[in-house]
Structure formats: C-alpha cells, structure tokens
Amino acid sequence: MTPRWLNSADSHVNEPHDLWEKPLEAKWGDAVPRVIPAEQGVGSNSVTAGGRKYFTGEDYLPIGELVLNDPVLEKVRRTNVDPAFRALCMNEDGVWGELLFPTLAMMVFPLPNADLSRDCLKVYNDWLHDYCRGAPERLFGAALINTENVPLAIAELERNAKRGFRAAMINGDVRPEWAPYRDRRYDPLWARLEEMQIPACIHISTGKKKDIFFFNGSLLGQAATGYLDLMAEAGEVLGNEFIFGGILDRFPRLQLFFVEYEASWLPHWLFRMEQLANDFGPNLGVVKPRRPIREYLNQIHVGVIDDPFVRHVADAIDPARLVWGSDYPHVRNTYGKSHQTVAKIFGHLTTPTIEQITVENSRRLFKIDMPAIS
C-alpha cells in the first residue's frame, strides 16, 4: 500500500530556450547558451542535419530529445510556464511536493568558461525562484552553484537559501583544470553547506563525463561506453573525493544527494570500496579512510526513480538514505503512473518503509511541509 501523497525529490523544469540571451548577450555575445537552427552549428563535431539544437556555449544538443511523447506534450509545455497548473497535474499523479532540477542548465555546468557558467546559473536561479512562487507550498528549488570560485559559490548559496531554495546543485565533479574537490580550498563551501544544513546535490551530466545526448556520427559507436561511464561518476566522486579525499571526515554533518544515478550500483561499489580500503589500498600506500566505508553512507542520500534492482541494495544502504523521484517531465518519468511505479519497485518492502522512501525522507531532507498522510 502506498501513501496518498508522494514527494518527488527528482523533478525538472524545461527552462525557456531564450532564458540567457537577453540578460547575458551584451556581456557574452555568441557564447550565450541558446537554441539555434541546426545549420548554424555546422562545423561542430556534435551537430547533425535536421531540427533545432541547443547551443550550451561549447557544444550542441538536440532539443527534441528532452520532451515527452506527443499525447501529453501540450500539458507538459503548459506546466513549464504555469506552476499553478503544474500543481493540478501533481494532484492527478498523487505527488505533493517536487524538488526541481534543470534540464538545459545541467549542460552549462561543465563549461570550461566558469564565468559564463556562473552567470547562466545565476539567471536560472532567478527564473526558478519566480517559477516556484507560483506554487510555493508544492515546488522547491535546487539552487545551481558553480564551485570554481569558492567565495562566489558561497555567496550564491546564501543568496538563494534566503529565498527558500532547499538544496544546492553543484558541479558533479570539477573541471580538469580546477583543483580536485578533496583540495582544502573548497572546505569553506562544505563548511557553509554543513552549517546551513543544505544538501549538496550531484546530478548526472554535471561533472567531467560527457552526456551521450552530445554523441552523434562516429561517436555513437562509443554510446554504450559513454553511458556507463556517465552513470559511474557518482561512485567515483563519492569514493575518491569525499571519502578517500577526507571531505566527509572533515565535515561529518555534510549531506550529499546523488540524483538520477539510481541505487543498484551501491552493492558493487561498496564491495570495491571496502576492497580498496582494506586490501589493495594499504599495499599501494593509499591512506585509509578514518571510518569504515559503510559509515560514510550515513552522509549520503541516493535517488531512485524506477530501478528494478533496488530490492538488492538493502544490505548496502539503510532505506532512510533512499529518496524517490519521478524525473518529470523527462523521457523516463513516471507521470500518470507514479503510484503504480512505487508499488512495483518497492512492493517487497513494508508500508512504513515505502512511506519513508517516497515521502518522509524527502520531507525531512528538504524541509517540506505537507498535509497529513492518509
């Protein structure tokens, strides 16, 4: 039995295609992310003929891949501009609150030009703040924070926390030319997140690994490798930077939320991490983490949409660390069948545990006020 209301800790907005042009074109000119006709992108390795493309400031993305199929397309388009209507659609789906992540702006995080990325993310945060005000008791923003300049990152974090944002979405991993996250120059950011009790969100496609939506032509021969590589980034960053890099030891109350990686990677990751910590690492001179690897899982949350293998993660992570999300309105979203999906994926669990994963964990983590659950 699932509760009357669910909370989605992984939902999205499809931000306007021209969001950055007017406020940033005077400063950045043609580098501003925008939608362009495909023929304007000729010469880029990522552009093929046909359709419009989203130019990120570095690369080109087919925008047609980021919407639902036709039967509900008009409804989705309206929810992108009408938050009150979105709340009505949430009622239909039995979802009370949604933590909102971007669509196009995800592709801005990895830009080599950190100043351009930072400006774009700030504009997005302002737009999302206005959007959430249309249903403030139901829609909650994850502020986008470029981490390259730590003082500026903290300032943007604080600016948006004051406006009611419930989480901070950071670069999934640093750019190759930046210092790694384990470097202590980032410690003031982790300290401020810990102090403010704001989870740091790491979402797919925001780190070093290129999203396969950018693959075409001969690169499609590497699509499987690219996809698997992209989905492995969460475990790599968590292990190398936050655990072996000492961040979670220095900040034992810092909370991380890994979004859209699902959960079935955890058992194998845990096996390899313990193997590294206890066997291979000491033989190589790798400094062993201060705590057993499993204890660090108390500082992370992992998002689940419809992972059919979630039943196999019980020995790896406490259900208090799993958080359900619908991924609305992206291709794999559960809109219209969210309760059925929850019943199918988590049906092997007790009703209190299902409520914990689909309602209570996100309510606690993101401070969501909601009506009594029936």
Amino acid at 58: E
**Dihedral (C-alpha) 189, 193, 198, 203: value to the nearest 10 degrees?**
30
The H helix count followed by the E strand count for the chain is: 14, 11
- The mean pLDDT value for 267-295 works out to 94
Q: Could you report the per-residue pLDDT of 224-270, keeping only the tens digit for each? A: 999 999 999 999 999 999 999 999 999 999 999 999 999 999 999 99
Residues 6+ apart with CB under 8 A from 166: 99, 140, 141, 142, 198, 366, 367, 368
**What average pLDDT does the chain have?**
92
* Secondary element (H or E) of residue 94: none
pLDDT at residue 314 in the model? 86
CA 206 to CA 120: how far, in whole Å?
A: 14
**pLDDT above 50 (res 47):** no
42 bridge partner residues: 44
**Nearest alpha carbon to residue 261 among 213, 204, 329, 201:** 204
pLDDT at residue 106 in the model? 96
CA 302 to CA 293: how far, in whole Å?
A: 16
**pLDDT above 90 (res 372):** no
Please provide the size of the chain in residues.
374
Task: Report the top-level CATH class of 6-14+69-366.
Answer: alpha beta
CA 209 to CA 173: how far, in whole Å?
A: 9
**pLDDT above 60 (res 352):** yes
